[in-house]
Amino acid sequence: MATCPHIDLNNPDTFRGGLPREVFSYLRREEPVYWHAADAATPGYWAVTRQEELDYVSKNPLLFSSAERTCMLQNPTAEEIEMMRMLMINMDPPKHLKFRRLVRSAFTPKKVDSYEPRFREIARDILDRAVVGGRCDFVTDIAAELPLIAICELMGVPLERRQRLFELTNIMLGMDDPDLTTSQEDGMNAMMEMFMLGLELAALHREDPSSGIVGTLLEGTVEDEPLTDDEFCNFFLLLIVAGNETTRTVTSQGMRMLLEHPQQFQQLVDDPTLVPDAIEEFLRFNPAVIAFRRTAMEDTELNGVRIRKGDLVQLFYGAASADEAVFVDGDSFDILRNQREDVRNGHRAFGIGQHFCLGSHLARLELTAIFDEIVRRIRNPRFDGDIQWLRSNFINGIKHMPIAFDVV
């Protein structure tokens, strides 16, 4: 269990400015299953950075559990674990599959594709507002808006409350960022406010049933039983948070890479049909989620390394999405990569296995709608101030990114 003192994947500052690609490259090459020592706040764990091992862990959920100590990176108490297990991402089979089946019908490609005209309308409205004056904060004025409006409409949340949902999401995911939250209590209060909104929507649905996702959840059953209020609120929380933060992050990081590679932005301007290829590279190069965690349920081995029952295993999706065994020069950003390599099926931005992201098709549709509009409306985009990074070892986020541009 040799450890390298210069490797600290617990410190949120390690991820300031982007993924620590040199560290990930070293680990993939030298120790793809690496023992990361504990610190004052975080227990020790096995860091998995290569795709072969990440896929094995992800596809064996009974051996590597999401429920035992949750998939989240903090060190929850026994009481917190019981509450967190109500979230579908913290369930194992067969329970996970039963809950997943309930909501899956709302996210089929056919159902999601039916939202495309509305998403494109929203994207046009967003750019209409954002391009005025030739400068904006890309994160708050463009990247955050479409996923937030989309998930509000899909979940039946009044649009005038979207700004509050944006704030609550930031608080819950910004526990390590002093600009966003100051205590664990703030995060719990934000979650309770989200729960209260969920209960309010459930009551409205019972008075006036709708055909949206809320209706799917409230009228469906798990083992012939309807969801309890707590189960519904946890679904609501997961869908709201995952439905706006992750796509916002990939949109922001994707635009950042285009600003840093202006010739690639021009390629999209010259040939907008390349936007879907670019989106796969955005997802591969900067996935929204940095890592999730699993717990070994019995003694086993991973790449010849002995894993003991109870050991924590942490999966680094951005590291696996640059794996040299899968991608040529994976630490380089190239929107044309998808024309040479199977990026769509190669990256792990959405995970793999039974916990593969239910909203992947929705995210791709939103990303396509907003970047189609960006490429149509903006020329010569450039940084117009310093980037403010989310301080987090969990979400690969950007809080603010001032840009200037010419308007078509």
pLDDT at 82: 92
Distance CA 402, CA 12 (A): 22
The domain locations on the chain are 12-407
Res. 4: pLDDT tops 70: no
Distance CA 151, CA 361 (A): 13
Res. 5: pLDDT tops 70: no
Confidence band, pLDDT 50/70/90 cuts, at residue 188: confident
The whole-model pTM stands at 0.95
pLDDT at 212: 81
For 280-289, how does the pLDDT look when each residue is reduced to its tens digit (9 = 90+)?
999 999 999 9
Greater model confidence, 4 or 219: 219
Res. 1: pLDDT tops 50: no
pLDDT at 367: 98
pLDDT at 174: 78
Q: What is the mean pLDDT of residues 260-269?
A: 98
Give the residue among 60, 61, 96, 90 at the shortest CA–CA distance from 73. 90
Res. 184: pLDDT tops 80: no
Distance CA 299, CA 77 (A): 24
pLDDT at 243: 84
Q: What is the mean pLDDT of residues 35-51?
A: 93
Phi-psi label, residue 384: left if phi above 0, alpha if psi -120 to 50, beta otherwise = alpha
Find the helix packing angle between 229-260 and 162-173, rounded to 10°.
80
Distance CA 108, CA 362 (A): 9
Distance CA 109, CA 362 (A): 8
Confidence band, pLDDT 50/70/90 cuts, at residue 3: low
The percent of residues above 70 in pLDDT, for the chain, comes to: 98
Helix, strand or coil, per DSSP, at residue 342: coil
Compute the mean pLDDT over every residue in the chain, rounded to the nearest whole number: 93
For 77-90, how does the pLDDT look when each residue is reduced to its tens digit (9 = 90+)?
898 899 899 999 99
Q: What is the DSSP string of 270-338?
A: H-GGGHHHHHHHHHHHS-SB-EEEEEESS-EEETTEEE-TT-EEEEEHHHHTT-TTTSTTTTS--TTGG
CA distances from 49 to 142, 249, 295, 314, 343 (A): 32, 21, 16, 9, 17
Give the residue among 272, 212, 264 at the shortest CA–CA distance from 236. 212
Q: What is the mean pLDDT of residues 366-376?
A: 98
Four-way CATH pick for 12-407: 1.10.10.60, 3.20.20.70, 1.10.630.10, 3.40.50.300: 1.10.630.10
Q: What is the mean pLDDT of residues 398-406?
A: 98
